[in-house]
Structure 1
Amino acid sequence: MWDLNGLLVFVRVAETRSFTLAASALDLTPSAVSKAMTRLEKDLGVRLLHRTTRSVNLTTDGASFLERCNTVLAEIAEAEAALSRTRTLPEGRLRVQMPVGFGRLVVMPALLRQFNQRHPGIVLDVELSDRIADVVHEGLDAAVIIGPPHDARLIARRLCTLSFRACASPAYLAAHGEPRTLDDLDAHHCLAYTVPAGQYREWVFMREGRSYVKSPSGRLNVNNAESLLEAAVAGAGIVMLSTFITAEAVRSGALQLVLQDYEGVGPEVFVVYPPNRNLSARVRAFVDFLDALVPAYAGQHGL
């Protein structure tokens, strides 16, 4: 493997035809330049320079090698310039992952309308999935997560806190009655969101400053919020979901809010990214975009 510094020294000697002038241009001593050329010729196994006491000239092999060196060094300079641009301009490929419901309903419409137009140099690869991604191991640039970050390696920026509401279809409530207290839920079909290890996400309520926790129990449990929404609209039972998921169904009358004397407490939402992406302009652009989008969406639609 050639020494890049040796190539730089060779090019400067070839341009100046002088060890002394090359040394001055590179802030080296003539002896260091001479040693670098001797080492490079030894590594290549060919003579690159004709040396006399008065001049330095290229051999035939040296002239051919100079052309290749200029090409290589030009490509390296372009690569360095490209890296410099990515630190200052949002360009390049950006791989992100986010939950299906939050991504599809909250983030994706704004990505299409605003982010792509604002940052045409960024190519977005978006994975919508409710799985818990290993951001570092999978080489992701960023991820939106619901709930507290568990990977201490990641930098996390809080975006919002979700609001949850309990609701059911009018047909279900007509058939089973409307719960008035949290204890009434024990007699109802409660559709639970499944989390890893076969557990169900608890329903957390607040009332008059006190916190109440219910463990949902029903005949149908799914690890996808939009599927739970569809099941509730179909009359399968009571569901507790974020307001951004249920808002349209409630507005249309497909779902009816219950237990309105209680406030549903939801988890926080974060965007996380590895520390080695901290200075990337495209990651910074995406994080800043979410930081402006999500609070504004929450103010308009409620999260």
Structure 2
Amino acid sequence: MQNLNTLVVFARVAESRSFTTAAQRLGLTSSAVSKAVSRLETELGVRLLNRSTRLVTLTNDGASFYDRCREILASVEEAERALTLTKATPHGRLRVQMPVGFGRRVAVPALRQLAQRHPGLVVDAELSDRVADIAYEGFDAAIQIGQVSDERLVARTLCRLRFTALASPEYLAKHGEPQTPDDLDQHHCLAYVSPITGGYRPWEFAKDGQSFSKRVSGNLNVNHADSLVEAAIAGMGIVMISNFIAVNAITGGQLKPILTDYVAPGPKVYVVYPPTRVASLKLRAFIEALDQAVSGVDQAFDRRA
């Protein structure tokens, strides 16, 4: 094998499943990328890719070789990072994807500060509630809530969500404060409508090691977390919402946590990224900024919960 550049070309094609996309990311022509992979196949004596007019896929040999390529390239990047870490600062373009609610409340404020600290860093952030194909779409990293199903990615735990029942002081003064989840049957509850199923998301509770759920609804149910918080602040009912969405309303005294003896552990939040990005300075800076942001949310929430 003449040099590591051929491995880089192959890895980018394997990740993006496209000669054209890989060429764009590498600053090469599609023809140059195709020829480089063909030469590699000839040198190794195996076919690495299945080619069609619509999609490029890995053969069994190609998948095995790609796994080793990722390890090799990650080791090379780590060695380069170790040599330059003391002088280098994050720079270049960082492409990230994240859920809307978490992005607006936690990640984007952290990214603003990150961009201010590192003028050479350009951040492109997509806020959407879809699960992106990180490698195929060329993202450096993404934030995912709940189980990560893509085994190709490194998944680092960022935090765990907590969903707490909340109501405005005015609502509680008028209707009383429920003491158990069963008391919610006598109250107005503002439910989250799933945009996928059209049903209401059940409220999860736990006490004495036992977990259980309860389905609730009221005369206003919305598929937008911020709108539910606004309705609860207006005194329209009780809402169950995640800590990062509610923290400002709680610390500001607009909403009060209730049923705090029944708070159930929520899903984990992960930062996910391809193994080839593990040594990236900009990725590490991104993760550090998120760690600081979620720590601030948890501390503020704990003071009021």
Normalised by the shorter chain, which TM-score bucket? 0.5 to 0.7
3-state SS of 1:200 partner: coil
Give yes or no for the alignment of 1:206 onto 2:206: yes
Partner of 2:256: 256
Partner of 1:124: 123
How has the CA–CA distance of structure 1 residues 275 and 84 changed in structure 2, closer, same or farther, with 3 Å as cutoff? closer
Query: Do the aligned partners of 2:251 and 2:300 also contact (CA within 8 Å) in 1?
Result: no
Q: Which piece of structure 1 moves more, 151-160 or 203-212?
A: 203-212
How has the CA–CA distance of structure 1 residues 153 and 224 changed in structure 2, closer, same or farther, with 3 Å as cutoff? farther
Q: What does residue range 36-185 of structure 1 map to in structure 2 within 5 Å?
A: 88=81, 89=88, 90-113=90-113, 115-185=114-184
Partner of 2:283: 283
How has the CA–CA distance of structure 1 residues 180 and 104 changed in structure 2, closer, same or farther, with 3 Å as cutoff? same
Structure 1 alignment gaps of length 5 or more: 6-82
Distance in 2 separating the partners of 1:247 and 1:296: 10
Post-superposition Cα deviations, 1:130-184, rounded to whole Å, max 9, x if no partner, equal 3433333432221112222232332210011122210112333344433221112
Distance in 2 separating the partners of 1:123 and 1:149: 27
TM-score (norm 1): 0.62
What is the CA distance between 1:246 and its match in structure 2?
A: 1.9
Q: Which letter maps to 2:106?
A: V
Distance in 1 separating the partners of 2:248 and 2:138: 35
What is the CA distance between 1:205 and its match in structure 2?
A: 1.7
Q: Which piece of structure 1 moves more, 158-167 or 183-192?
A: 183-192
Q: Which letter maps to 1:161?
A: R
What is the CA distance between 1:292 and its match in structure 2?
A: 4.8
Distance in 2 separating the partners of 1:280 and 1:216: 45
Partner of 1:194: 193
How has the CA–CA distance of structure 1 residues 174 and 244 changed in structure 2, closer, same or farther, with 3 Å as cutoff? same
User: What's the C-alpha RMSD, in Å, of the aligned pairs?
Assistant: 3.0
3-state SS of 2:151 partner: coil
Distance in 1 separating the partners of 2:131 and 2:200: 16
Distance in 1 separating the partners of 2:138 and 2:217: 38
How has the CA–CA distance of structure 1 residues 173 and 295 changed in structure 2, closer, same or farther, with 3 Å as cutoff? closer
TM-score (norm 2): 0.62
Identity of aligned residues (%): 55
Give yes or no for the alignment of 1:226 onto 2:226: yes
Post-superposition Cα deviations, 1:113-146, rounded to whole Å, max 9, x if no partner, equal 3x22443322101123334333334322211122
How has the CA–CA distance of structure 1 residues 129 and 220 changed in structure 2, closer, same or farther, with 3 Å as cutoff? farther
Distance in 2 separating the partners of 1:133 and 1:223: 21
Q: Which letter maps to 1:148?
A: Q
Query: Do the aligned partners of 2:250 and 2:301 also contact (CA within 8 Å) in 1?
Result: no
3-state SS of 2:107 partner: helix
Query: Do the aligned partners of 2:155 and 2:270 also contact (CA within 8 Å) in 1?
Result: yes
How many residues were matched structurally?
A: 221
Q: Which piece of structure 1 moves more, 164-173 or 129-138?
A: 129-138
How has the CA–CA distance of structure 1 residues 117 and 165 changed in structure 2, closer, same or farther, with 3 Å as cutoff? same
Structure 2 alignment gaps of length 5 or more: 4-75, 82-87
Q: Which letter maps to 1:188?
A: H
Partner of 1:273: 273
Q: What does residue range 233-252 of structure 1 map to in structure 2 within 5 Å?
A: 233-252=233-252
* Bigger-Rg structure (1/2): 1
Q: Which letter maps to 2:161?
A: L
What is the CA distance between 1:230 and its match in structure 2?
A: 0.8
Query: Do the aligned partners of 1:130 and 1:224 also contact (CA within 8 Å) in 2?
Result: no
Partner of 1:77: none
Distance in 2 separating the partners of 1:229 and 1:263: 18
Query: Do the aligned partners of 2:170 and 2:235 also contact (CA within 8 Å) in 1?
Result: yes
Partner of 1:56: none
